[in-house]
Structure 1
């Protein structure tokens, strides 16, 4: 009878996520993973399979969390939808450093050679597009975005801006500059507030 495992798989996945985020897939060895998780190679292989299988699980977990984080912003009053999009672009929690780039890093490093990563990456971006489209539609109904604009395209624009801001953050651009860019992006899709005419 096999002995029960004496470690938390989710905790190991979280630790491996931090390692892959820091050094990438190719830059991370099984020895690195064994060192940071405290598990022997045999235990890692027994629980997760090889390095590729572990990365797939880590990448899937990260992508699920990233998609759920944005999907949660769809919930709320429609007249606050545009502000929720602004907050997503401005929020430092979405750009805490290296962890924020695992989707971009994994996609850039592996999508051309790993069908699993390519498919999961595309599915995640589609989820982000959909959530942002729904937020734009809410803002349109609230009168904050031109109702004739294409909400799908504007949602994709917001996601693309977010990806760009993450890259700039990794490059050392200061937070105030990042937030000015975020504000400019949202202001660009917002319907100008017309002053009330006096009567």
Structure 2
């Protein structure tokens, strides 16, 4: 009969996640993980498989949590458009706060996707899910008359994802908070201008 585990699995996963997050996958050793989790290397192997197996499990759980948080954030606002834009530019608690080291998924993509097909596949899935969520919000905003009905939801969603990722990169790159705030305002202004229907002067004539 297998001996029962004497540790809290979620606590171990959280400690391992934070260790990978701080050091990156390649620089994090099994010994680093053992010290962070309080488990011996053999116990880690026995419970979670290889270092890569452990990392992939953590990455999957992280992606699922972030996706759920993002969807909850953009759909909580009664205004589909406002909920989406506040999430995109990280305003008004529109999206979960990221730690200084940034997004674990984004960091993993940058470090591993070129060499690891599984990481690349996860990145593509996250992108596709985010694109679908944003496009759905944009369509709802159009139906409510918040933005121009002629705007292409998918193309606009692509642009918003690019803005979101750019802001996230700049937030963790050491740029001053005032400058980040200015670029957020500039991004929001640009976005609003691109989706707000321009009223032709003839339409204003009585």
Check whether TM > 0.5: yes
Structure 1 segments unaligned to the other structure (5+ residues): none
**Contact (CA 8 Å) 1:86, 1:183: kept in 2 or not?**
no
Provide the C-alpha distance between the structure 2 equivalents of 1:19 and 1:182, rounded to a whole number of angstroms: 31
**Contact (CA 8 Å) 1:63, 1:121: kept in 2 or not?**
no
What displacement does 1:137 show?
Answer: 1.5
Q: Which residue number in structure 2 is paired with residue 128 of structure 1?
A: 130
Q: Which residue number in structure 1 is paired with residue 81 of structure 2?
A: 82
Q: Which residue number in structure 2 is paired with residue 50 of structure 1?
A: 50
Structure 2 segments unaligned to the other structure (5+ residues): none
Provide the C-alpha distance between the structure 2 equivalents of 1:143 and 1:187, rounded to a whole number of angstroms: 19
TM-score, reference length from structure 1: 0.88
2:152 maps to which of 126, 139, 150 = 150
Q: Deviations over 1:92-140 (max 9, x none)?
A: 7333322x32111101111111111111111011111111111211222
Q: Which residue number in structure 2 is paired with residue 160 of structure 1?
A: 162
Secondary structure of 1:94's partner?
A: coil
**Contact (CA 8 Å) 1:82, 1:186: kept in 2 or not?**
no
Q: Which residue number in structure 2 is paired with residue 174 of structure 1?
A: 176
The higher relative CO (CA closer than 8 Å, separation ≥ 6) is in 1
Q: Which residue number in structure 1 is paired with residue 187 of structure 2?
A: 185
TM-score, reference length from structure 2: 0.85
Provide the C-alpha distance between the structure 2 equivalents of 1:130 and 1:181, rounded to a whole number of angstroms: 26
Q: Which residue number in structure 2 is paired with residue 96 of structure 1?
A: 99
1:11 matched to 2:11? The reply is yes
Q: Which residue number in structure 2 is paired with residue 72 of structure 1?
A: 72
Distance change >3 Å, CA 135–CA 182, structure 1 → 2? farther
